[in-house]
């Protein structure tokens, strides 16, 4: 895949220095697309000083108030996290992530999502992601600086990209992972139908939907598969009426 | 080799924040031995703030006025550099360095030597080193932040060292991929229900079922997921009758 199709998404960042340092780290590793979701600080002198010349990345940043629109065009959304979750999400090492990206199609768009300095990503944010990447660290001192985590992942991706020759064949677009917006459209449809047939409890749709999300996000649904799955939902709705 | 036998040597550093950030990066990756050669800044509040709790590494740092005594006990001394030299030094990638260290003896002592923020290492300093490691970067914007370079190398070394399979918590059997017989049981149930609601053509169930098989087989369904998916099928059958 193309490095310029990978976006770094920083959610709720509070220190402008981390945003500047992230821009520098990205530029060092040939990434250029920075998206800030609900930033909690101004992007001014401090950020530009730490960017150390990577000004274009800061100038061209995209800003969103929420994660959903930030990743809408991405067919692979990767959450980064140090914390272990009660409901485990499929987890990659940085090297496995880099291998995965190398093998992806040139037109694919990917988001790497980084959470808040102190509290990381919310569970509902993680549940928008296909997979999670976890940087191995000292279990006694595991909290990486935010920009350092971005540096490590960008480095892994760049260095892997760099030692792999590009391959040729392009699969049909409908057999590639669908963008997040289409996958979310499927989840909405699925929840509606499962409520209507009484499989989900109106009061408590949560845990079952979480597990279904995890299953389908892990699978990286293609457009063709979403069409089939939504066709099934429509057939169920017809039987019901 | 032992991670505690690797020392990080920072030569002529001018920004205390970089020293603090280096201590944090080291601690994240289980390295603890920091040596400052001729530091050009005080190690005070700024350094400790950026160390973010890795105080012991700063407290126990060693300080030398020159590189020679700092590396005297080391059997392998590695210079780090972004700049290409007129006199090429034997050069390793970070991954090659990590491989090399993994295979070394437990009693070996190693120094990784990092130069000044703006001018790197002097030629006479490089000539004290056995080899050079070079972090691959964007040729148009190659200057890594000093602490970021330390982060990347410590990460490579730690993660290579760490590659031995993790021990400890086993996931619940119901969260492991289910045996084929159970997955096939699900496919039979799915086909039956899709035929009954008229989504599959009695004559031609093939292509759609093939695609659904591919999707779910790729996902390596767990027992819990099969229970949820079959629960949905049962709910559809109830609506139908």
In tens, the pLDDT along B133-160 reads 999 999 889 889 999 999 999 999 999 9
* pLDDT greater than 60 at residue A85: no
Over residues A174-190, the mean pLDDT reads 91
What's the pLDDT score for residue B170?
A: 56
* pLDDT greater than 80 at residue A164: no
Selecting from B148, B162, B219 the residue whose C-beta is nearest the C-beta of A148 gives B148
Quote the distance between the C-alpha of residue A131 and its chain's center. 8
Fold for the domain defined by B173-240: Helicase, Ruva Protein; domain 3 (1.10.8)
What's the pLDDT score for residue B171?
A: 63
Give the helix/strand (H/E) hosting A153.
helix A146-162
CB proximity under 8 Å: A 167-206 to B: 194, 197-199
What's the pLDDT score for residue B157?
A: 95
Best of B147, B152, B178 to mutate (most A CBs within 10 Å, chain A): B152
Please give the C-alpha separations between residue B4 and each of A9, A122, B7, in angstroms, as whole numbers. 35, 35, 7
Fold for the domain defined by B3-161: Alpha/beta knot (3.40.1280)
Fold for the domain defined by A177-240: Helicase, Ruva Protein; domain 3 (1.10.8)
With CA atoms as reference, report the closest residue to B41 among B69, B12, B61: B12
In this prediction, residue A105 has a pLDDT band, given cuts at 50, 70 and 90, of confident
What's the pLDDT score for residue A171?
A: 65
Start-to-end C-alpha separation, chain A: 45
Same fold, B3-161 and B173-240: no
What's the pLDDT score for residue B167?
A: 42
The most confident of the ranges A151-165, B61-75, B145-159 is B145-159
Both tokens of A11, joined, read 């959610």
What's the pLDDT score for residue A84?
A: 56
What's the pLDDT score for residue A168?
A: 47
Please give the C-alpha separations between residue A28 and each of A160, A165, B92, in angstroms, as whole numbers. 14, 20, 19
In this prediction, residue B168 has a pLDDT band, given cuts at 50, 70 and 90, of very low
Residue B159, chain A, CB below 8 Å: the answer is: yes
Alpha-carbon gap, residue A193 to A198, rounded angstroms:
9
Alpha-carbon gap, residue B201 to B194, rounded angstroms:
9
In this prediction, residue A182 has a pLDDT band, given cuts at 50, 70 and 90, of very high
In tens, the pLDDT along B173-190 reads 787 778 788 888 999 999
Instruction: Enter the ipTM.
Output: 0.77
Residue B4, chain A, CB below 8 Å: the answer is: no
Fold for the domain defined by A3-162: Alpha/beta knot (3.40.1280)
Selecting from B171, B218, B232 the residue whose C-beta is nearest the C-beta of A88 gives B171
Q: pTM (2 decimals)? A: 0.81
B183 Rama class: left (phi>0) / alpha (psi -120 to 50) / beta: alpha
In this prediction, residue A13 has a pLDDT band, given cuts at 50, 70 and 90, of very high
What's the pLDDT score for residue A83?
A: 58
Over residues B76-99, the mean pLDDT reads 78
Over residues A76-100, the mean pLDDT reads 80
Scanning the structure block, which residue is given the tokens 């009693």?
A: B107
Task: Name which of B27-31, B114-118, B217-221 the model is least confident about.
Answer: B217-221
* pLDDT greater than 50 at residue B103: yes
Computed on alpha carbons and rounded to an integer, the radius of gyration of chain B in Å comes to 28
What's the pLDDT score for residue B112?
A: 97
Over residues B30-40, the mean pLDDT reads 97
Q: Domain boundaries in chain B?
A: 3-161, 173-240
What's the pLDDT score for residue A1?
A: 80
* pLDDT greater than 60 at residue B165: no
CB proximity under 8 Å: A 40-79 to B: 52-54
């Amino acid at each position: 895949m193309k490095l310029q199709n990978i976006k770094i998404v920083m959610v709720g960042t509070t220190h402008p220095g981390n945003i500047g340092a992230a821009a520098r780290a990205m530029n060092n590793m040939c990434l250029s697309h920075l998206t800030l979701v609900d930033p909690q600080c101004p992007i001014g002198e401090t950020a530009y000083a730490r960017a150390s010349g990577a000004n274009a990345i800061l100038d061209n940043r995209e800003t969103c108030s929420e994660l959903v629109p930030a990743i809408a065009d991405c067919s692979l959304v990767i959450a980064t996290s140090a914390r272990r979750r009660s409901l485990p999400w499929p987890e990659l090492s940085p090297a496995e992530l880099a291998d995965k990206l190398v093998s992806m199609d040139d037109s694919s768009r990917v988001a790497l999502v980084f959470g808040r300095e102190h509290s990381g990503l919310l569970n509902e944010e993680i549940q928008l992601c296909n997979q999670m990447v976890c940087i191995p660290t000292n279990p006694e001192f595991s909290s990486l600086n935010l920009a350092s985590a971005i540096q490590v992942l960008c480095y892994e991706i760049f260095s892997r990209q760099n030692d792999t020759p590009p391959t040729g064949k392009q699969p049909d677009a409908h057999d590639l992972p669908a963008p997040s917006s289409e996958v979310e459209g499927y989840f909405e449809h699925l929840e509606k139908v499962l409520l209507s047939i009484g499989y989900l409890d109106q009061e408590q749709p949560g845990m079952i939907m979480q597990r279904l999300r995890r299953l389908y996000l892990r699978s990286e649904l293609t457009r063709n598969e979403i069409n089939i799955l939504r066709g099934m939902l429509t057939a169920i709705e017809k039987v019901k009426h």
